[in-house]
Amino acid sequence: MFLDTTSRHNLLTSTAMHRRSLLALLATLPIVPRAALAQSAPRIVATTGMVADAARRIGGGAVQALMGPGLDPHSYRQTRSDIAALTRADLVLWHGLYLEAQMEDFLNDLAARQPVVAVAEALPRDLLRANPEYPDRFDPHVWMDPALWAMVGETVQAALDGVAPEAAATHAANAEAFRAEIAALDAYARAVLGTVPETSRILVTAHDAFGYFGRAYGFEVLGIQGISTESEAGLARIGELVDLLVERRVAAVFVESSVSDRSVRALIEGAAAKGHAVAVGGELFSDAMGPEGSYEGTYIGMIDHNVTTITRALGGEAPAQGMQGRLAAA
């Protein structure tokens, strides 16, 4: 693994626990043998782009993602064509941890009839951040910490093995390559984010999607809206954040591709009225990946884009082409 800091040391012991809980989880799945389909690739449907990306990387085949670029998983509800695709799928992969709040009941019902796996639910609870708005729930945005996403990859791999055991060796090789790339991404993020001056390590975004990112890389994270996008930020919250921007001379705040930028604009106007200019540091991919077919339309590219954009906007040094630029220069 690539967990080189003491603060994340306990991840190693948790991984063994994670494997055990994963096996327990998979034992409960109603695995339907694909005897009749043995020659064809399994039909795999995933909810978010990030989960679909992991399944493509590890499975090596096509995976249908229900939520494309710019779609908000907190509010997304399955369409008629989604229902058709989900019920026909050999394997349905969703995120869980209450991310797909509007689809949860449907997916839980579906799980009684066919292989349906909530891939983030298998993460050890002690690695999850609490959700301050709902004490019995967790912050679902685990893809923001590459080390956690690598663990989610293990669940994806096990689920793929379940529906295509004959391809297990391929899955294992693909998973190994994916993990290595995630490790390189984590090392890149640590290196460039470390160049941001310590007093500038404050990340202000439209909603609270970056908590795991902040925990992994030592940034204070403030979302205008909460963990979910379901409730709008109140005027009091905006006022509080404006004061903080002015007091701490925060240079930039960030918009998100899947959330309205209205509240971010309100912050910038509020700070300007108090004589402090705040820039839009760029657009981050929080809950959805970038355009399909682009580098940002992959998990690695999405996080690379975020890391590079945040670093440059907050006064650190990162290559213009991000991790790709760094690899090309090496």
Residue type, 88: R
State the minimum distance, in angstroms, from the CB of residue 228 to Zn ion: 6
| CB of 54 or CB of 160, closer to Zn ion | 54
Assess 256 for contact with Zn ion (CB under 5 A).
no
Distance CA 59, CA 126 (A): 29
Distance CA 307, CA 323 (A): 9
User: In the bound complex, what is the minimum distance in angstroms from residue 72's beta carbon to Zn ion?
Assistant: 7
Query: 160 vs 203, which CB is nearer to Zn ion?
Result: 203
Confirm if 233 and 261 have CB atoms less than 8 A apart: no
185 binds Zn ion (CB under 5 A): no
Kindly tell me which of 211 and 281 has the beta carbon lying closer to Zn ion: 211
The residue among 89 and 99 lying less far from Zn ion, judged by its C-beta, is 99
- How far apart are CB 122 and Zn ion at their closest, in Å? 20
Does position 107 interact with Zn ion (CB under 5 A)? The reply is: no
* 253 near Zn ion (CB under 5 A): no
Q: Does 255 bind Zn ion (CB under 5 A)?
A: no
Closest approach, Cβ 34 to Zn ion, in A, equals 34
> The tokens 């909530």 sit on which residue?
118
Q: Can you say whether residue 171 is alpha, beta or left, with left for phi > 0 and alpha for psi between -120 and 50 degrees?
A: alpha
Only segment of 32-40, 115-123, 235-243, 286-294 that touches Zn ion (CB under 5 A): 286-294
Report if residue 139 touches Zn ion, rule: CB under 5 A.
no
Choices 31-39, 109-117, 121-129, 202-210; region in contact with Zn ion by CB under 5 A: 202-210
The answer to whether residues 140 and 38 touch, using CB atoms and an 8 Å cutoff, is no
Nearest Cα residue to 49 out of 32, 27, 64: 64
From 50-58, 142-150, 194-202, 280-288, span contacting Zn ion (CB under 5 A): 280-288
Other beta carbons within 10 angstroms of residue 296's beta carbon come to: 21
- Minimal distance, residue 99 CB to Zn ion, in Å: 7
Taking the mean position of all CA atoms in its chain, how far away is CA 17? 22
On whether the CB atoms of residues 294 and 323 are closer than 8 A, the answer is: no
Which residue, 278 or 288, has its beta carbon nearer to Zn ion? 288
Among the candidate windows 206-214, 235-243, 275-283, 319-327, which touches Zn ion by CB under 5 A? 206-214
> Which of these, 161, 151, 163, lies nearest to 37 by C-alpha position?
163
* 304 is a contact residue toward Zn ion (CB under 5 A): no
Contact by Cβ (8 Å): 220, 247: no
Residue 287 makes contact with Zn ion by CB under 5 A: yes
Return the residue matching tokens 């993020």. 189
Told to check if 90 binds Zn ion by CB under 5 A, we report no
Q: Is 209 in the site for Zn ion (CB under 5 A)?
A: yes
**Is the Cβ–Cβ distance between 251 and 235 less than 8 Å?**
no
Report whether 302 contacts 289 (CB < 8 A). Answer: yes
Residues that bind Zn ion (CB under 5 A): 209, 287
